A = this chain, B = another copy of it.
């Protein structure tokens, strides 16, 4: 599946973004990307030792970071030393992607043209934005909105009252009624009286054979993407925040919540109402009990439960005290 641009991107030179800093040359910026995905002519950012391994190997041309962290970056990277990495990142992202800090309604929506979607079945009052692509034999329920540039694969079943924006959806995906996918995440810089809204110019990627039950919300990524792996099944009213990456063959029960930027392995099962804190790494084949609150990384093949979640044996032992 090819990537896509959902947001207007301004053409800027790196020197436009940081006018006080001296650069080797006046380079035209390609994009803003996370450490691990940035390539030549891209700007990235490095704000926590947690991402040191990615920092060591980044292929970005420019990186916003602090004096201290800058040592972890390759020589090839031009370092932009600041005090508050995320503040600078937000500032320049707003210049490059000026319309990504809010969900402006899509006023390009229209009834779908049958000539364009010959084998797609549409329910009543479906609205489709510009440049939307929908694969063969997919079905879309009544009152559903698919905003501009969204791509949906073959043989997908999308329910009624669904809204999809800023998303790439692969084949045989099932999305039940009332899911909201691709909206802006909960990211901002707190500021008394007037927060600074963090631009969200990432997207949502949903891989093949995924099933998402009724009333889920999946926020798009900020700089990165939010990703759901193949054959992962998600129950009702699950909340998936920006930049979360869920692996393949996972089972996520009802009302589970994921805070931003956590990475979940393959074949992970999570019981109802569990919560996963932000910026965690959950291994493969992990089982998380219902109602648990996960606040630390979990290695492969662990079974955990509790608030905060601990290995199941420990949880059961504590109960007997």
Q: Which residues of A pack against B, CB within 8 Å?
A: 102-107, 109-110, 121, 123-125, 127, 139-143, 145, 157-161, 163, 174, 176-178, 180, 183-186, 188, 190-195, 197, 209, 211, 213-215, 217, 219, 230-231, 233, 235-237, 239, 241, 248-249, 251, 253-255, 257, 259, 267, 272-273, 275, 277, 290-291, 293, 295, 306-308, 319, 321
- Chain B residues, Cβ within 8 Å of A185: 213
What is the bound-complex CA distance between A213 and B195, given in angstroms? 15
> Contacts A180-B178, A183-B176, A211-B197 given: A141-B239 contact, CB under 8 Å?
no
What is the bound-complex CA distance between A124 and B106, given in angstroms? 9
Would B290 and A277 count as touching, CB distance under 8 A? Answer: yes
- Chain B residues, Cβ within 8 Å of A141: 105-106
- Chain B residues, Cβ within 8 Å of A307: 291, 306-307
- Chain B residues, Cβ within 8 Å of A291: 275, 293, 307
> Contacts A123-B109, A211-B197 given: A254-B235 contact, CB under 8 Å?
no
Which of B161, B236, B239, B255 meets A145, CB within 8 Å?
B161
- Chain B residues, Cβ within 8 Å of A251: 190
Would B157 and A145 count as touching, CB distance under 8 A? Answer: no
A156 smallest CB distance to B (angstroms): 11
What is the bound-complex CA distance between A125 and B248, given in angstroms? 38
A64 smallest CB distance to B (angstroms): 24
Question: Chain copies in the assembly?
Answer: 3
- Chain B residues, Cβ within 8 Å of A145: 142-143, 160-161
Would A163 and B178 count as touching, CB distance under 8 A? Answer: yes
Would A127 and B105 count as touching, CB distance under 8 A? Answer: no
A198 smallest CB distance to B (angstroms): 11
A170 smallest CB distance to B (angstroms): 13
CB closest chain-B residue, reference A219: B236
- Chain B residues, Cβ within 8 Å of A183: 159, 176-177, 213-214
Would A193 and B273 count as touching, CB distance under 8 A? Answer: no
A209 smallest CB distance to B (angstroms): 6
The 9 residue pairs across chains A and B that have the minimum distance between CB atoms = A105-B141, A186-B235, A291-B293, A217-B236, A273-B275, A239-B254, A255-B257, A105-B123, A214-B217
Would A194 and B231 count as touching, CB distance under 8 A? Answer: yes
> Contacts A249-B190, A254-B257 given: A272-B272 contact, CB under 8 Å?
no
Enumerate 18 A-B pairs (CB-CB under 8 Å) in ascending A order.
A102-B157, A103-B159, A103-B177, A105-B123, A161-B180, A183-B213, A186-B213, A186-B235, A186-B254, A195-B233, A197-B211, A213-B219, A217-B236, A239-B254, A254-B257, A255-B275, A272-B277, A321-B321
